[in-house]
């Protein structure tokens, strides 16, 4: 890269400043010459925070909307409705998957700049250089993990070829090999304690590696990283006495030790999460106030007549935490309170619920100021439970599930709770039935369900979508379209690289 080129970075200087965004990321777009850019910690902070600015877009409305409308418990409304029929994506939703492709490569591009330039820094110690490079490799691996899961194959662009337009696709196995290489380096170089909220530490890199290895059915390998997170002692489950105690995890700037890695929001300057508007209804109330301060377009809904809701014990705090119902939770001062938002044609069931785990009574625009926990400790324990069960250690496995189940009833996490605890299953099939249920209850609305079903295989995904939503998944639904713009500009690609159905 020529050193006289100016790179416009949507950079975020890592400042410790007073106010609601203390120890967060403040964004200041700036043009910086690469010949002088990486010479001080503040300049390197601005570079890594530019990557984070791209990452925020990767984990916002389009990703969340796609994952939730693909799940077996939520449905899309308006332009999102076709997603919940599991046919080839229509033109509108293809623009959303195209956006995810582009945001993945924007994240990768800015990570590559860091990885290429940081070793030349004159004002950083080698330890500082290693840390920044490790963080950049975490984000690069994260973006490629999306690409391989949702497209199967994609061009591998790194610091050695990032200026090249024409780059051939790397296949699934090749992408996973490179992702694991990046994460091995990230685990070695990221700090034990993240530099600030929204930046990865070792446990974030370990969690991503475990997620990758679970996806590859390398459960033994995943266990190494899961155990390292647990034994680090840096994370623990929040104790819960009332339903609203969960706000300690999902509220704005919670700082909960349960959060391993988060997409952070900030009120000043305004850096929000548009996904909250996808969930919110202007007149639906959470904790006595409008969910998003009277805003939102409720593009995602569901219903109390659906099988998953009927199976959910009303005494489980997570049910009413995650799901609010019209007209019960509708604005009490509204003249008209609808009994439903719409009706699902496949099930002929009224849609009368929306997702309410996240809310912001102070929102000033369509973005809510809440943090989204990309990885939290509850998921670490869910992974550990599954790994143990796959090794036929069912009593040990169910104890990890019961920790989450007990606290959902306001019970002490580590104390047996007769009448609430699950009994140890006798087989992997019995365990997986419990795991499927608890996975929905614990991660409802957190964009985890569709990746979880994909990981378990097409047959499992088909089974649950049919059972809970009465739809069949067409073969072209599994993978997303490679954007036409990529095929036109990247001469190393041919029409044969396109995924089926497009």
Query: What one-character-per-residue DSSP string does 450-464 give?
Result: HHHHHHH-HHHHHHH
Confidence of residue 268 (pLDDT cuts 50, 70, 90): confident
Q: Are residues 343 and 389 in the same domain?
A: no
Does 222 reside within a domain? no
Does 232 reside within a domain? no
Does 251 reside within a domain? no
pLDDT mean over 232-247:
97
In this predicted structure, what is the pLDDT of residue 365? 81
Q: Which domain holds residue 162?
A: 6-190+478-497
The DSSP call for residue 4 is: T
pLDDT mean over 95-117:
97
d(CA 484, CA 193): 41
Domain tally for the chain? 3
In this predicted structure, what is the pLDDT of residue 279? 97
Cβ–Cβ < 8 Å for 295, 277: yes
CATH number of the domain residue 486 falls in:
1.25.40.890
Does 201 reside within a domain? no
pLDDT mean over 346-357:
95
Confidence of residue 27 (pLDDT cuts 50, 70, 90): very low
Phi, psi of 147 (to 5 degrees): -60, -45
Q: Are residues 437 and 490 in the same domain?
A: no
Does 209 reside within a domain? no
Q: Are residues 35 and 162 in the same domain?
A: yes
Which class for 52: exposed (0-12), middle (13-18), buried (19 or more C-beta within 10 A)? buried
Does 473 reside within a domain? no
In this predicted structure, what is the pLDDT of residue 217? 98
In this predicted structure, what is the pLDDT of residue 39? 87
Q: Are residues 35 and 139 in the same domain?
A: yes
Which class for 310: exposed (0-12), middle (13-18), buried (19 or more C-beta within 10 A)? exposed
Looking at 346, 370, 394, the residue that finishes a domain is 370
Q: In DSSP terms, which residues pair with 155 in a beta bridge?
A: 169
Q: Are residues 171 and 119 in the same domain?
A: yes
Q: Are residues 317 and 425 in the same domain?
A: no
Q: Are residues 270 and 386 in the same domain?
A: no
pLDDT of 343 over the 60 cut = yes
Q: For residues 9 and 478, which has the higher predicted lDDT (pLDDT)? A: 478
Q: In DSSP terms, which residues pair with 342 in a beta bridge?
A: 351
Kind of pairing between the strands at 30-33 and 342-344 = unpaired
Q: Are residues 407 and 306 in the same domain?
A: no
Q: Are residues 330 and 394 in the same domain?
A: no
**Which residues, 6 or more positions from 459, have their beta carbon under 8 angstroms from its beta carbon?**
none
Phi, psi of 370 (to 5 degrees): -130, 155
Q: Are residues 29 and 177 in the same domain?
A: yes
In this predicted structure, what is the pLDDT of residue 11? 35
pLDDT of 4 over the 80 cut = no
In this predicted structure, what is the pLDDT of residue 24? 45
CATH number of the domain residue 420 falls in:
1.25.40.900
**Which residues, 6 or more positions from 346, have their beta carbon under 8 angstroms from its beta carbon?**
85, 469, 470, 471
Of 15-29, 79-93, 209-223, 396-410, the one with minimum mean pLDDT is 15-29
- Other C-beta atoms within 10 Å of 242: how many? 9
pLDDT of 182 over the 60 cut = yes
Does 470 reside within a domain? no
**Which residues, 6 or more positions from 90, have their beta carbon under 8 angstroms from its beta carbon?**
82
Q: Are residues 361 and 397 in the same domain?
A: no
Which class for 17: exposed (0-12), middle (13-18), buried (19 or more C-beta within 10 A)? exposed
User: What pTM was estimated for this model as a whole?
Assistant: 0.94
Mean pLDDT of the chain: 92
Q: Are residues 483 and 413 in the same domain?
A: no
Looking at 317, 337, 370, the residue that finishes a domain is 370
Strand ranges in 342-437 using DSSP code E only, listed in sequence order: 342-344, 349-351, 353-355, 372-376
What DSSP assignment string belongs to 31-94?
Answer: EEEHHHHTTSHHHHHHHHHHHHHHHHHHTSHHHHHHHHHHSSS-EE-GGGGGGGGTSS--HHHH
Phi/psi-derived region of residue 147, left when phi > 0, alpha when psi is between -120 and 50, beta in every other case: alpha
Q: For residues 260 and 23, which has the higher predicted lDDT (pLDDT)? A: 260
Does 433 reside within a domain? yes
In this predicted structure, what is the pLDDT of residue 37? 66
Q: In DSSP terms, which residues pair with 302 in a beta bridge?
A: 353
CB neighbour burial string for 456-494, b if at least 16 within 10 angstroms, e if fewer? beeeebeebbeebbebebeebbbbbbbbeebbeebeebe
């Amino acid at each position: 890269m020529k050193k006289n080129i100016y790179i416009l970075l949507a950079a975020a200087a890592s400042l410790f400043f007073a106010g609601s965004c203390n120890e967060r990321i403040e964004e200041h777009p700036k043009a910086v010459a690469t010949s002088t850019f990486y010479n001080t910690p503040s300049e390197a902070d601005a570079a890594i925070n530019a990557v984070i600015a791209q990452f925020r877009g990767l984990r916002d409305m389009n990703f969340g909307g796609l994952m939730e409308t693909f799940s077996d418990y939520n449905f899309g409304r308006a332009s999102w409705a076709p997603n919940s029929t599991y046919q080839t994506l229509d033109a509108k939703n293809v623009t959303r998957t195209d956006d995810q492709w582009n945001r993945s490569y924007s994240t990768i591009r800015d990570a590559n700049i860091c990885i290429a330039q940081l070793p030349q820094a004159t004002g950083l110690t080698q330890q500082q250089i290693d840390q920044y490079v490790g963080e950049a490799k975490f984000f690069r691996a994260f973006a490629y993990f999306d690409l391989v899961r949702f497209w199967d194959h994609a061009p591998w662009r790194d610091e050695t070829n990032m200026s090249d337009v024409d780059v051939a696709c790397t296949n699934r196995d090749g992408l996973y090999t490179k992702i694991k290489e990046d994460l091995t380096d990230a685990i070695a170089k990221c700090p034990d304690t993240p530099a600030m909220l929204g930046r990865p530490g070792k446990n974030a890199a370990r969690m991503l590696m475990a997620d990758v290895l679970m996806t590859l059915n390398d459960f033994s390998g995943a266990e190494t990283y899961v155990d390292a997170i647990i034994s680090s002692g840096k994370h623990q489950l929040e104790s819960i006495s009332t339903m609203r105690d969960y706000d300690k995890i999902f509220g704005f700037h919670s700082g909960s030790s349960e959060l391993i890695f988060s997409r952070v929001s900030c009120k000043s300057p305004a850096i929000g999460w548009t996904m909250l508007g996808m969930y919110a209804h202007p007149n639906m109330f959470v904790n006595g106030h409008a969910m998003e301060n009277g805003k939102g377009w409720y593009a995602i809904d569901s219903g109390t007549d659906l099988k998953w809701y009927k199976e959910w014990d009303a005494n489980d705090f997570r049910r009413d935490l995650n799901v609010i119902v019209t007209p019960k939770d509708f604005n009490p001062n509204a003249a008209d309170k609808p009994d439903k938002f719409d009706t699902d044609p496949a099930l002929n069931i009224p849609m009368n619920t929306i997702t309410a785990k996240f809310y912001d009574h102070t929102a000033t625009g369509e973005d809510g100021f809440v943090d989204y926990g990309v990885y939290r400790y509850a998921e670490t324990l869910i992974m550990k439970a599954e790994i143990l069960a796959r090794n036929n250690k069912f009593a040990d496995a169910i104890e990890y599930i019961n920790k989450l189940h007990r606290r959902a009833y306001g019970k002490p996490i580590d104390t047996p709770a007769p009448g609430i605890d699950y009994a140890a299953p006798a087989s992997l099939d019995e365990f997986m039935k419990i795991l499927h249920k608890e996975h929905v209850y614990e991660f409802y609305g957190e964009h985890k369900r569709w990746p979880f079903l994909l990981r378990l295989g097409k047959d499992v995904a088909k089974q649950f979508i049919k059972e809970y939503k009465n739809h069949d998944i067409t073969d072209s639904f599994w993978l997303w379209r490679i954007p036409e713009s990529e095929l036109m500009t990247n001469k190393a690609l041919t029409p044969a690289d396109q995924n089926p159905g497009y």
